[in-house]
Structure 1
Amino acid sequence: METIHLIQPKKSHETAVQDYIEEHFSFGEDSLHGSSLLTEMESYSAWLSHLTKQSDKATVPSDWVVSTTLLAIRKKDQKIIGTIDIRHELNEFLLEFGGHIGFGVRPSERGKGYASEMLRLGLDYCKILGLEKVMVACYKENIASARTIRKNGGVLEREFSHDDGKEVQVYWINLSDKR
């Protein structure tokens, strides 16, 4: 696995982000995990504006929490490997269903260890935010995500059936255990 780093999306990433989106669509995927509504915005500029609002307590919508959405970029070739959304706190909805972190890896780069490294870097960011415990959830059928979460210290707390009928697993990661 090549080295990656997490960076905030900028206008200069627009073409690379479009390529990232198109790859998901070409694999038959219509939602991008950890991207904070990327595919639901009318334009890349609108998405960047949305991210700016999400990162400021004064402008975040009342039913959302402050969050930071980052691109995982491979250092060698600057290719976008994935996206990760880090919520700085949990509201009632996120405590029940979503957790602190959502992440996704582009289909052609899965199974190479990038998700584990993205989550590790995301947990480092959570430590900077002062979080002591982090909740991460995934569908039970998503064995790769569950493995990634456990590899990063996730301990299964509970499982439940989501409204869509899929089983969800909720994990907690104690950041004081991670040095």
Structure 2
Amino acid sequence: MSNREITLIKPIEGLVAEFLSMADEYRATGDDRYKSAADDFSSYVRNLVFYSKGVNLPMDHVPASTFWLVLADRIIGRSSLRHYLTSELEHEGGHIGYDIRPSERRKGYGKLILKLTLERARDIGLDRVFLTCDTDNTASAKIIERNGGVMQGQVSSDKSGKPISQYWIEL
């Protein structure tokens, strides 16, 4: 992995074919997280721009900037940076969520996408960020800890009932 060639960009319509390829990878694993985005990509990208500005937010959402980790026009992963926390996000979800496409996992990209997203968090004035992960997701826990995450505790997810680990990272 050469960091020189990798960039964290805002979503653009010019990568539609690449995005659809990533969505297909997820779908092949039984994960439909990008189904609606794949169905209407232009609206998806437009809404991400709106959401980053706090415009047309879905109920119970906060302004959030979405980024793609891109290597030679290949989307490696996605991160979302929530601009502030609600009481719900202070329990589960936090400031940052990220995922790496299935074919690119275990190559160090998770650590990199979080590192680059932390830089963007500094850029919007955050001095520390809160993250959570399922307690049994040891890969994500290692990524958070390798980026300076300090575990604050474990709680039960309000959504799944599963245990989740909570972390703070000082910027």
TM-score higher than 0.5: yes
Are 1:138 and 2:150 counterparts?
Answer: no
Match of 1:147 among 142, 149, 153: 142
Structure-2 residue corresponding to 1:47: 44
Residue aligning to 1:67? 64
Q: Which runs of 5+ in 2 are unaligned?
A: none
| Aligned amino acid, residue 53 of structure 1 | F
Partner residue in 1 for 2:108: 113
Kindly provide the amino acid, as one letter, of the partner of residue 80 in structure 1: I
Aligned to 1:98, the other structure's residue is in SS state: coil
How many aligned positions are there?
167
Cα RMSD over matched residues?
A: 1.5
1:93-118 residue CA offsets vs partner (Å, 9 max, x unmatched)? 21121100000001111111001010
1:1-179 equivalence runs, <5 A: 1-3=1-3, 4-31=6-33, 38-41=34-37, 42-61=39-58, 63-74=60-71, 77-162=72-157, 163-175=159-171
Return the offset for 1:57. 3.0
Q: Which amino acid aligns with 2:2?
A: E
Cα distance in 2, alignment partners of residues 30 and 166 from structure 1: 21
One-letter code aligned to 2:146: K
Cα drift, residue 58 of structure 1 = 4.6
CA drift of 1:129 comes to 0.7
User: What is the rounded CA distance, in whole Å, between the counterparts of 2:22 and 2:15 in structure 1?
Assistant: 10
Identify unmatched segments of 5+ residues in structure 1: 32-37
What secondary structure does 1:83 align onto?
strand
Q: Could you say what secondary structure the match of 2:168 adopts?
A: strand
Distance 2:23 2:59 in 1: 28
Write the letter of the residue equivalent to 2:78.
T
Q: Distance in 2 between matches of 1:159 and 1:43?
A: 38
> Which portions of structure 1, spanning 4 or more consecutive aligned residues, are displaced by more than 4 angstroms?
none
Q: Name the amino acid aligned to 2:90.
A: L
In 2, distance between residues paired with 1:63 and 1:53? 15
How far is 1:169 from its partner? 0.7
Task: Give distance in 1, aligned partners of 2:161 and 2:87.
Answer: 21
Alpha carbons of 1:61 and 1:21: their partners in 2 closer, same or farther (altered >3 Å)? closer
Deviation digits for residues 123-168 of structure 1, max 9, x if unmatched?
0000111101101111111110000000000011111122323211
Q: 2: distance between equivalents of 1:53 and 1:9?
A: 12
CA distance in structure 2 between the partners assigned to 1:141 and 1:30 by the alignment: 21
Q: 1:20 aligns to what SS in structure 2?
A: helix
Distance apart, 1:61 and its partner CA: 4.5
**CA distance in 2 between partners of 1:16 and 1:2 (Å):** 20
Greater displacement, 39-48 / 18-27: 39-48
The 3-state SS of whatever aligns with 2:99 is strand
C-alpha distance in 1 between matches for 2:59 and 2:162: 28
